């Protein structure tokens, strides 16, 4: 019976993802409302699948359907961003043309996201022998790249025009740059190639989640909350976000710690830091579990990834300085502080609160390798909650950790953060949407703390039932 119910949920979910492909992801109340309605329905089916797996027999066929669904949904969203009215045959032709470099077949927005164009541009810059940290996309010295080799490659001027904030140098850390350059080598200027690379890391994270749950003898049912999670599917398969690298590296760190392989865990954490700088806050917790030398190894691996780009000098962090000092989007506590004080003090206050949260967590940490996911999801969660910028793809960082730690707040956050897409209605943030998002998140945190689950092993015990 459970297998039959799971098959129904799979078919219903696939129908919803096919509907997303027909959505014209442009500004306006109707398209955004339809988008959020479809995502909400997908979340409901994802949670239903979890309860079916948890309460059913979970035979081989059920797990085949679960893994097959995770792959199918991602493959389904790879064409997201192609003109929505195209029939299937023309979508396939557009994807083939994109892969061959015959034309820019995808539209600017990939389900309300356009970061992927920066990835393609950075990969092109590196392929020409330039340092992507040294040039903003609109730098006149890069004009020679536009339309170069137009007979064999996409219209690079169109790709350049689609890059957001073209006057700012890249903010993406070195491992991301290495991936951009690799995707360029796979298929220059191809949106599809970049999405496939992102999904590959995404599915690697899913595999690590399953393996870690098995190694710790926890219920595998929780893995569906990552494999079928609509936020992960949307941001990685639909939009091609490079954050999938970080998600895979964090999941790998948890797996290697669970298997008592601290050196491999150090390599994985070092790569995570080279993909995004936020996991730096995890180093104290990792040191307690793997020792000082392996923590040093993680730092060395992270720094080694910067070596090909040190020629940029002070420009290496120019884009990041602009991002961290000026940008703000979908923030919660920071938004409140920014109303009460100037921007600079508000940022310093939030940084102090993050440091305080990390210190409290560190003092209560038990140094058990099996609880790394538990402290990591809280530490990174604190970074996000007090951050001036909280995009949906950032919240995806928490998903594999949240599943492994059975941290329901992080899983709930993957639902609540979708209200951020309301900015696409008119290009402005809605105060009531921020109140709804962070108010509900605050209530969820309070409920978890009130029930003693945040710092205890209760969550792990529940996963083993």
Instruction: Please provide the DSSP assignment of 171-211 as one string.
Output: ---HHHHHHHHHHHHHSTT-HHHHHHHHHHHHHHHHHHHHH
pLDDT score recorded for residue 150: 46
pLDDT score recorded for residue 56: 76
The parent domain of residue 328 ranges over 2-80+194-464
Is 143 within a domain? no
Is 163 within a domain? no
Which uninterrupted H or E stretch holds 79?
Answer: none
CB proximity list for 400: less than 8 A, separation 6 or greater: 205, 206, 208, 209, 226, 247, 250, 251, 254, 373
Residue 82, classed as helix, strand or coil, is: strand
Is 362 within a domain? yes
pLDDT score recorded for residue 155: 85
| Contact in structure between 429 and 338 (CB atoms under 8 Å) | no
Is 170 within a domain? no
Locate 148 and state its tokens. 């170069």
Is 259 within a domain? yes
Q: Model pTM greater than 0.85?
A: yes
The count of structural domains within the chain is: 1
**How crowded is the C-beta side of 283, counted as CA atoms within 13 Å?**
17
Q: Around Cβ 113, how many Cβ atoms within 10 Å? A: 23
Is 101 within a domain? no
Is 99 within a domain? no
Q: What is the pLDDT of residues 36-49, one digit of tens each?
A: 999 999 999 999 99
pLDDT score recorded for residue 323: 86
Query: What residue ranges of the chain have pLDDT lower than 70?
Result: 1, 57-58, 147-153, 453-465
pLDDT score recorded for residue 85: 87
pLDDT score recorded for residue 451: 80
Beta bridge partners of 329: 389
pLDDT score recorded for residue 198: 98
pLDDT score recorded for residue 456: 47
| Contact in structure between 191 and 240 (CB atoms under 8 Å) | yes
Is 146 within a domain? no
């Amino acid at each position: 019976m459970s297998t039959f119910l799971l098959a129904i949920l799979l078919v219903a979910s696939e129908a919803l993802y096919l509907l997303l492909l027909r959505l014209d992801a442009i500004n306006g109340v109707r398209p955004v409302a339809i988008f959020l309605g479809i995502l909400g329905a997908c979340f409901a089916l994802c949670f239903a699948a979890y309860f079916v797996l948890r309460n059913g027999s979970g035979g081989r066929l059920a797990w085949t359907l679960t893994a097959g669904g995770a792959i199918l949904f991602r493959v389904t969203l790879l064409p997201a961003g192609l003109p929505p009215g195209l029939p299937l045959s023309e979508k396939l032709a557009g994807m083939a043309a994109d892969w061959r470099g015959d034309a820019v077949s995808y539209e600017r927005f990939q389900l309300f996201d356009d970061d992927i164009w920066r990835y393609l541009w950075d990969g092109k810059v590196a392929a020409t022998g330039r340092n992507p940290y040294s040039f903003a996309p609109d730098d006149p010295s890069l004009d020679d790249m536009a339309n170069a080799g137009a007979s064999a490659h996409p219209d690079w001027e169109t790709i350049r025009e689609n890059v957001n904030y073209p006057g700012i140098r890249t903010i993406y850390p070195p491992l991301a740059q290495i991936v951009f350059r690799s995707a360029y080598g796979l298929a220059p200027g191809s949106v599809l190639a970049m999405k496939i690379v992102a999904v590959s890391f995404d599915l690697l994270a899913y595999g690590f989640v399953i393996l870690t749950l098995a190694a710790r003898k926890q219920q595998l049912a929780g893995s569906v909350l990552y494999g079928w999670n609509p936020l992960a599917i949307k941001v990685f398969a639909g939009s091609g976000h490079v954050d999938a690298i970080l998600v895979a590296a964090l999941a790998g760190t948890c797996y290697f710690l669970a298997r008592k392989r601290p050196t491999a865990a150090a390599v994985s954490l070092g790569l995570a830091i080279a993909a995004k700088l936020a996991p730096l806050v995890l180093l104290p917790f990792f040191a307690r579990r793997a020792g000082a030398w392996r923590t040093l190894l993680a730092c060395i691996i992270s720094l080694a990834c910067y070596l090909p780009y040190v020629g940029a000098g002070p420009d290496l962090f120019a884009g990041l300085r602009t991002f961290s000092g000026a940008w703000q989007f979908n923030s919660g506590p920071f938004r409140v502080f920014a109303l009460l004080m100037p921007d600079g003090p508000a940022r310093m206050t939030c940084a102090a609160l993050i440091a305080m949260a990390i210190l409290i967590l560190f003092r209560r940490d038990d140094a058990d390798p099996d609880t790394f996911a538990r402290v990591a999801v809280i530490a990174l969660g604190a970074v996000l909650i007090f951050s001036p910028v909280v995009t949906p793809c950032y919240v995806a960082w928490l998903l594999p950790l949240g599943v492994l730690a059975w941290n329901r707040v992080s899983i709930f956050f993957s639902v609540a953060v979708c209200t951020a897409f309301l900015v696409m209605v008119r290009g402005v943030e809605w105060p009531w949407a921020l109140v709804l998002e962070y108010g509900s998140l605050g209530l969820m945190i309070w409920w978890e703390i009130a029930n003693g689950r945040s710092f205890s092993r209760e969550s792990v015990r529940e996963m083993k039932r």
